[in-house]
Amino acid sequence: MSVTLERRTACPKHMEYGPCGGVDFDGSCEVGDFRCVFLDTPTVLWHGVAPPVRDASTVTGDSSASGIEVHHLGDAHEIAVAPQPGAARLRELLATRQIVIADFPGRPLDRASLAECADALAGRVDATLAGDSGRSRVQFPPAYRALLIQERGLAVWTGLNCRDRNRVALEGELAGLADVGVAGVHCVTGDHTATGNRPDALPVFDLDSTQVAALARQAGHLVSVGESPTTPPTDRRAARLAEKVRAGADLCFVNHAGGVEPVRRFIAESHDLGVAPGFIACVPMVVDHGSAALLKSFTTLVLPEGYLDGILASADPLRAGLDAATRLCEQLLELEGVVGVDLSGGANPGAEVAFAEAMGTVAERLALQS
């Protein structure tokens, strides 16, 4: 059995390009009490998605009319697609200034809540990151949810995970998201079903985030991936990002890393390896005890020292949270390589619109929009 197959078999997520961001600080897997199988082996180099990508003739009868070009790489075919309109617009925006993204707080399977939260954010942030959380495993399908949100005038950056979908389903969603014209696609392997509110669901993990990044790029999307600089193996996280960039990633969301210095150091390590995607730094949004509890549920969360205590101990947690997030955004936006920030977190049940309003307030304070 090859080393690659051994790792895939031993990893609960069947990853080929591991490790994920779910490695605990002691090196154990998020799923069980055993060491992550990727920690003691070299970083897996990008070698493509198997089986080979289909020839363009199987995708469309007229590749020239669709903007598809086929580049032959040995026995495989790499399909290069012109950016879909939403991706093109965001690329143009990134060429002019830094951006503000906000996690989407709308209740799952609730069209009215999606509309209310989108209305609270539209015109204030540049896009909303619509993924999933441990307590909201069941959501509207990504392309449908993106359509509902974008109908309210808010650009969507869709989080697409491999936990719930095989390759065919992922390709279908990527096609739907291209048709909807989302601003970006954030490719994640995803938390295991053993975590979160649906342990009864079977995990899929046909592909992992690096492989989906390649498929998303081939579908014409602006592609982002995530990395966790403070999660083992900390000395190889930049190298892993390098392989994701080789696969097709344009940008990297830097997960909560404890403040400005860890983000600066991670960007410098990436640049030293010749890797320079756009970096989007995640900023913790906490405005009350409910949003603090949700943030604490994030895997391997690292926050600036005293960040939560300073907010929750305040006589006015909302104001303190807005001030803390604004300061951290301003500091992160000064770093070389940072092209934007993501206001990251979620709302206490029933406070979704208020949480969206709070994120909109931070975005307006930053005054990045012309």
**Is-contact 37 7, C-beta < 8 A?**
yes
Q: Is the peptide bond before 349 cis (omega within 30 degrees of 0)?
A: no
Q: How far apart are CA 154 and CA 119, in angstroms?
A: 8
**Quick one: DSSP state of residue 17?**
S
DSSP collapsed to 3 states, 28-47: ECCCCCCECCCCCCCCCCCC
Q: 10-residue block means of pLDDT along the chain (370 residues)?
A: 69 94 92 92 91 44 35 40 93 98 95 98 98 79 97 98 95 97 97 84 94 97 97 96 97 96 98 97 95 82 93 96 98 98 93 97 89
Helices 209-218 + 167-180 axis angle, to 10: 40
Q: Write out the DSSP string of 292-353.
A: HHHHHTSTT----TTHHHHHHTSSSHHHHHHHHHHHHHHHHHTSTTEEEEEEE--PPTT-HH
Q: Is the CB of residue 263 less than 8 Å from the CB of residue 257?
A: yes
What pLDDT digit, counting tens, does each position of 144-190 carry?
999 999 999 999 999 999 999 999 999 999 999 999 999 999 999 99
Q: At what angle do helices 352-366 and 111-121 cross, to 10 degrees?
A: 20
Residue 333 has what pLDDT?
98
Query: Which residue segments constitute the domains of the chain, with CATH numbers given?
Result: 3-44+83-366 (3.20.20.220)
> pLDDT at position 52, please?
44
* Contacts with 238 (C-beta within 8 Å, 6 or more apart), sequence order: 227, 229, 266, 269, 270, 272, 273, 275
pLDDT at 193: 85
Give the max Cα distance, the chain: 65
Q: What's residue 65's pLDDT?
A: 32
Report the half-sphere exposure of 145 (CA within 13 A, side-chain side). 26
**Closest by alpha carbon to 76, among 100, 97, 58, 50?**
50
Residues 93, 99, 103, 105, CA torsion sign: negative
